[in-house]
Amino acid sequence: MTSNRLYGPLDDVSGDAGYVAGHPQRVGFFTDTSVCIGCKACEVACKEWNGLPDPEADALVLTGMSYDNTAELGANSWRHVAFIEQAVPAASAPALSALSRDAEGELIISASVGDTDDGGSATRWLMASDVCKHCTHAACLDVCPTGALVRTEFGTVIVQPDVCNGCAYCVSACPFGVIDRREGDGRAWKCTMCYDRLRGGLEPACAKACPTDSIQFGPLSELRETAQARLAELHAAGVPEARLYGDDPDDGVGGTGAFFLLLDEPAVYGLPPDPVVTTRDLPAMWRWAGIAAGVLAAGVAVAFTGRAGRAGRP
Amino acid sequence: MSEQPQVPPAEFSSYYGRPILKVTRWREPHLPAYLFLGELSGAAAVLGVAAGLTRRPGLVRAGRLVAAAAAAGGAAFLTAELGRPERFLHMLRVAKPTSPMSMGSWILVSHSGLTSAAAASDLTGLLGPLGTAAAVASAITGSLLAAYPGVLLADTAVPAWHSSYRELPLLFAGGALTAAAAAGLVAGALTGDPASLGPAQRLALVGAALEGGAELALERRSDIAAEPYQEGDGARLLRYARIATISGAVTALAARRSRPAALAAAALLAGGGICAKFAVHRAGIASAKDPKYVVATQQSHSPPTRR
């Protein structure tokens, strides 16, 4: 890896943040959306454990987006289950249906396909529980001016509510649109990966509540191996569209601490296809600001030189 | 707008057309006002020092007073923008090079202190040498204060801002020059001091060239992340900004013959600068709201580091 810690693979995020040797290993989420059944137990468990405020009464609306009335991650929703209804050729329906359970009745894939309609197409239903990615290079943390956002000993990223002054820089910096400022509170909030539970040796509430193990929690290195195996399994079973998202340490954010197995393009799930941490370009940005500051000073100098001699002459 | 480069319509998917990014929480008029007052204060400080070096006492006072007042006004808008304004001082818990807002807070606080000291010394006639020293230091903080917001905006995931990290600091530096020109023109018109008007006129010309040039550069880019500067609110305001700025610089040429012309020129120059700040804010919002800017930019593999 390079000396530029703003970008690129990073083996020890906690060590890089200053934790001494012997700190816990990096943990994360592997969210396997192919077995998500859209029950929203993760959303509920998260809100319960973390005591997230109820939405405003007028925010309780039906969005018309399939079964999704949470709509997005935000200050009060740290897990968000997306529901995508897709028309697929009827010909692929039997194959997908046959995949749904194995001989022992274990769930293989949840993207169930409904009845075919007259037009020869069927509906495939994708469900995915989104969460803060706990990036290796977290833009929110980089840009936070108060030090409220910090890297934990577990390699996760959390906001310290007693420090945050609500400047909202993190809101504009997050390439995934995760973190947001809470109305009426003024501070920024997001998933902590249940930092308090981790400190107590427990797994995060969402992973604990997930009935299909779509949300798996554990050491990141182990989860990456689990995910590769699951990907190979799905490819072998005839689901070539399965792909991992966020597992690559060479991607624009150095890999994410919460990564996913998806069954379609990331954008279909509302995820950016190839996000890059904005601070990668920070040295170049400061260089251009330096140039601009110099141009400003030079501009003033030019404006005053024309008559400087005359005015200065006694 | 007909001569704008055409970006081919992009094929992309989205989740019910919803934004991928959070739309910025930075509001109007706070953010544009902070940007304008910051650059005005910064350039006015530099102007005051240059006026001192060339022995223009009227312009020295104008520069110092405007620099101090605008810095205070900018800080007020910045604080009002916080979700927890009473925690403004948390900005000074750390000095963090990876956070342009942290760097900017330190620049702003230093600059406010220095310009206040320089202005107080000028008004009271006390501690002249110290006031001059503070003023000289404020010329350095002022240059930084005017240019750093380019980094502040660019260091985000907002496509129209991040992709413009070259143009924005130059746009703001140009805006700083025209804002200082406006201050000089008003000072010259009010005091009837012709020694103030010459530099202000030249500042207007240099600043308008830089500001207008940066605006043109934003409008001429062919990457999709620049589209919000080429259509919609951002484009409209950017065009108004350029018309006002250039008219202001031209009107300023008549400043020595006509006091109304000087004041009108100042209003046009300041108005153009303010308009440009609103344009940048609106363009950023538009690019964060529409997922196509995120998806198309990232799928084209011409990420914002294209140049």
Buried b (16+ CB within 10 A) or exposed e, B209-236: bbbbebbebbbebebbbbbbbbebebbe
The reply to whether residue A173 touches residue B100, judged by beta carbons under 8 angstroms, is no
Q: What is the predicted pLDDT for the residue at A290?
A: 97
Euclidean distance between CA atoms B197 and B203, whole angstroms: 10
Nearest to B173 among A63, A282, A293 (CB): A293
- CA separation (Å) from A150 to A16, A25, A140, A178, A192? 12, 17, 9, 16, 11
Report the relative pairing of strands A258-262 and A27-32 from DSSP bridges. parallel
Chain B residues with CB inside 8 Å of A311's CB?
54-56, 195
Rg (Cα) of chain A, in Å, rounded?
24
Residue of chain B with shortest Cα separation from A143? B99
Q: What is the predicted pLDDT for the residue at A62?
A: 87
User: Which of A4-8, B196-200, B303-307 has the least mean pLDDT?
Assistant: B303-307
A171 touches chain B (CB under 8 A): yes
Q: What is the predicted pLDDT for the residue at A116?
A: 64
The reply to whether residue A267 touches residue B12, judged by beta carbons under 8 angstroms, is yes
Residue of chain B with shortest Cα separation from A292? B170
Calculate mean pLDDT across residues B128-148.
95
Question: What band does B179 get if pLDDT is binned at 50, 70 and 90?
Answer: very high
Q: Which residues pair with A131 in a beta bridge?
A: A79
Residue of chain B with shortest Cα separation from A185? B83
Map tokens 């454990």 to a residue.
A49
SS3 B98: coil
Q: What is the predicted pLDDT for the residue at A107?
A: 72
SS3 B68: helix
A306 Cβ neighbours under 8 A, 6+ residues apart? B198, B199, B202
Name the DSSP letter for residue B27.
Answer: -
Residue of chain B with shortest Cα separation from A314? B55
Q: Which of the pair, B293 or A90, is modelled with greater confidence?
A: B293
B119 touches chain A (CB under 8 A): no
Closest CA–CA distance from residue A235 to any residue of chain B (Å): 23
Q: What is the predicted pLDDT for the residue at A56?
A: 67
Euclidean distance between CA atoms B96 and B106, whole angstroms: 10
Q: Which residues pair with A101 in a beta bridge?
A: A107
Map tokens 């230091």 to a residue.
B137
The reply to whether residue B18 touches residue A292, judged by beta carbons under 8 angstroms, is no
The predicted-structure confidence for B260-282, as pLDDT tens digits, reads as follows 999 999 999 999 999 999 999 99
pLDDT > 90 fraction of chain B, expressed in percent and rounded: 88
Residue of chain B with shortest Cα separation from A174? B157
Euclidean distance between CA atoms B200 and B179, whole angstroms: 10
The candidate with the shortest Cα–Cα distance to A198, out of A7, A28, A82, A75, is A28
Question: Is the bond leading into A145 cis (omega within 30 degrees of zero)?
Answer: no
B25 touches chain A (CB under 8 A): yes
Euclidean distance between CA atoms B307 and B301, whole angstroms: 13
A177 touches chain B (CB under 8 A): yes
The answer to whether B210 touches B248, Cβ cutoff 8 Å, is no
A5 touches chain B (CB under 8 A): no
B307 touches chain A (CB under 8 A): no
Chain A, chain B: beta-carbon pairs less than 8 Å apart: 266
Mean pLDDT by 10 residues, chain A (314 residues): 71 93 96 95 97 75 90 95 88 67 74 66 89 98 97 98 97 98 95 98 98 97 97 90 95 97 96 96 96 96 70 37
B19 touches chain A (CB under 8 A): yes
The reply to whether residue A175 touches residue B299, judged by beta carbons under 8 angstroms, is no
The predicted-structure confidence for B51-68, as pLDDT tens digits, reads as follows 999 999 989 999 999 999
Q: Which of B11, B12, B15, B211 to mutate to test the interface with A (most CBs of A within 10 A)?
A: B15
The predicted-structure confidence for B213-243, as pLDDT tens digits, reads as follows 999 999 999 999 999 999 999 999 999 999 9
| A3 burial type by CB count under 10 A (0-12 exposed, 13-18 middle, 19+ buried) | exposed
| A166 burial type by CB count under 10 A (0-12 exposed, 13-18 middle, 19+ buried) | buried
Residue of chain A with shortest Cα separation from B26? A168
The reply to whether residue B43 touches residue A166, judged by beta carbons under 8 angstroms, is no
B83 touches chain A (CB under 8 A): yes
Chain A residues with CB inside 8 Å of B143's CB?
293-294, 296-297
* DSSP secondary structure, B107-135, as one string: HHHHHHHHHHHHHHHHHH--SHHHHHHHH
Tell me how long chain B is. 307
Map tokens 């998202």 to a residue.
A245
Instruction: Provide ipTM, 2 decimals.
Output: 0.92
- Reported pTM: 0.92
The predicted-structure confidence for A240-271, as pLDDT tens digits, reads as follows 999 999 999 999 999 999 999 999 999 999 99
Q: Which residues pair with A31 in a beta bridge?
A: A215, A260
The answer to whether A81 touches A128, Cβ cutoff 8 Å, is yes
B42 Cβ neighbours under 8 A, 6+ residues apart? A296, B67, B111, B141, B142, B143, B144, B145, B146, B147, B176
The reply to whether residue A167 touches residue B155, judged by beta carbons under 8 angstroms, is no
Q: What is the predicted pLDDT for the residue at A104?
A: 74
Q: What is the predicted pLDDT for the residue at A2?
A: 41
Segment 192-251 of chain A within 8 Å of chain B by CB: none
Euclidean distance between CA atoms A29 and A306, whole angstroms: 65
- CA separation (Å) from B295 to A140, A175, B224, B245, B287? 20, 11, 10, 35, 11
Segment 271-310 of chain A within 8 Å of chain B by CB: 271-276, 278-282, 284-286, 288-297, 299-304, 306-308
The answer to whether A83 touches A127, Cβ cutoff 8 Å, is yes
Residue of chain A with shortest Cα separation from B299? A273
Closest CA–CA distance from residue B1 to any residue of chain A (Å): 28
Q: What is the predicted pLDDT for the residue at B92?
A: 96
Q: Is the pLDDT confidence value at B187 over 90?
A: yes
Q: What is the predicted pLDDT for the residue at B180?
A: 96
Segment 185-214 of chain B within 8 Å of chain A by CB: 195, 198-200, 202-203, 206-207, 210
Q: Which of B11, B12, B16, B163 to mutate to test the interface with A (most CBs of A within 10 A)?
A: B16
Nearest to A267 among B200, B206, B295 (CB): B295
